[in-house]
Amino acid sequence: MKFFRKKNAQPDKTRPQTAKPNPEQSFYTPHPGEAPLDEYSTGPIGHQTHRTSRHSPVHIRENSNRASNWAIAVLLLRAVLIVVLLVGGLIALKLVLDRMAEPSEKKQQEWAANAGRMEKPSAPGAVSAGAPVPQELMISTALIGQRLEQWKQTEQLLRSAEALTRRGINEEASQQLEQTLRISPNNREAQQMLIDVYMQQGLYAEATPLCIRLLDQDSRSPDLQMKLLQALHASGQVDAGLVLADRMLQDQPNNQTVLSIAAEGQIKQGGKAAALALFERMLANDPKNTGALGGCAKLYLEQGGYQKAVSYYLELVRLDPKPEHYQALARCYAQQNDAGKAVVFMGQAASLFGTAAVSSWLRDTVFDPVRETVEFRSFADRIVGIETRKAIEAINKREAEKTTPAVLGGGLELPKQPDLNAIQPGK
């Protein structure tokens, strides 16, 4: 069924003509039963009769709204997808850049192989100037490119490790340096920095092989020899340390640090006579070396040479007054049955460091030779009366029914309550 017809439409040739047009009428005369040209001119009834639902303005608005909503949803979905893709792309780019910053395991292996290839000794026989280079000495451009990349990576890691060490972050610095040595195994700067970091961390055993590797390249370096000696000594490798110390003393016979480490190593090995000789060598060069003075004094004291030990301890209390030095002096005099001098130095220690530090010495059995002398008993009574008065009173209360007096360690009797009252201040 046709609802519209153009004004210039020609009549169907198959349809018979029923009437001729009247020239007095309008330009176009509709045939019987044909719809008017203007569909809106027939009124509301005709309009509703000859229009379908898809031409209805209501349906046109509904379809238009649906299309608009769908377009907005598509735009929103596209915007969300773009944001998600951008974020994902940034994350992936960061991961890729981090991955590219570190050399792959394959590249590290290639670098190690190339390093070994370049470090191989050249073929025997020199190549004269202007002569063609033998094939085995030729260096490819690819190898140079790989080495340049390797050196660049090494430099970056070294600078990063140096910054970490300045900030005291030694653990991360050691990781950076270890990675550097995996790329360039013979890099001297990285090895020297790693030795220092290991020594600061107390990893002396780990520092030892690095010192040896560097000494293989420069065996006369005194700094490297000293670091190796200190690492061996601190890690408990006494035998190896003594061998190295003997060799170093040939070139540096008066090095105080080497002499001290060698002396301590001899003591650990039981060579007290050798240790004493080394301490004496130290004092010959520096009479005020407290380490050597203490070493000699202790060795003589252990050997029973109390008179010789006294001279060293007298110098120590003058240069480095410590409670243990005064105690050692008192012990030396007590072993020589000189109660007066023993009490003098114990009294000096009590005035300098307090009676609490000295009261514990009275129980030591080394004072037995002078324990019953008047000087020692008087000093002991004074010290005990000041420091242990409350403790003695508590003991007397618990042992009121006992007739046997309580005895301090070392055979010193505790004074009874009346005696305590008699020695109290102001009585």
Spatial distance between the Cα atoms of 353 and 65, rounded to a whole number of angstroms: 98
Asked if pLDDT for residue 181 goes beyond 70, the answer is yes
Share of the chain above pLDDT 70, in %: 66
How confident is the model at residue 112, as a pLDDT?
A: 62
Least confident of 237-251, 275-289, 381-395: 381-395
Percentage of the chain beyond pLDDT 90 is 41
pLDDT band with cut points at 50, 70 and 90 for residue 109: low
pTM of the shown model: 0.58
Summarize the confidence of residues 151-164 as an average pLDDT: 89
Of 359, 322, 327, the residue nearest 342 (C-alpha):
327
Least confident span in 212-216, 233-237, 315-319, 393-397: 393-397
- Helix, strand, or coil here: 413? strand
Class of domain 287-427: mainly alpha
Residue 298 has pLDDT above 90, yes or no: yes
Distance CA(169)–CA(336), nearest Å, equals 55
CA distance 13 to 9: 12
**Mean pLDDT value of segment 231-251:** 94
- Per-residue buried b or exposed e for 305-325, using 16+ beta carbons within 10 Å of the residue's own CB: ebeebbebbbbbbeeeeeeeb
Q: Measured between alpha carbons, how far is 211 from 227 in angstroms, rounded to an integer?
A: 7
What's the average model confidence in pLDDT over 211-216? Answer: 94
Provide long-range contacts, Cβ within 8 A and 24+ apart, for 210-214: 214/188
When comparing pLDDT for 412 and 67, which is higher? 67
pLDDT at 41 over 80: no
What is the CA angle 386-389-390, rounded to 5? 135
Residue 117 has pLDDT above 60, yes or no: no
Paired with 413 in beta bridges are 407
pLDDT band, residue 95 (cuts 50/70/90) = confident
Q: Residue 407, SS3?
A: strand
Over residues 300-313, mean pLDDT = 94
> Residue 186: pLDDT above 80?
yes
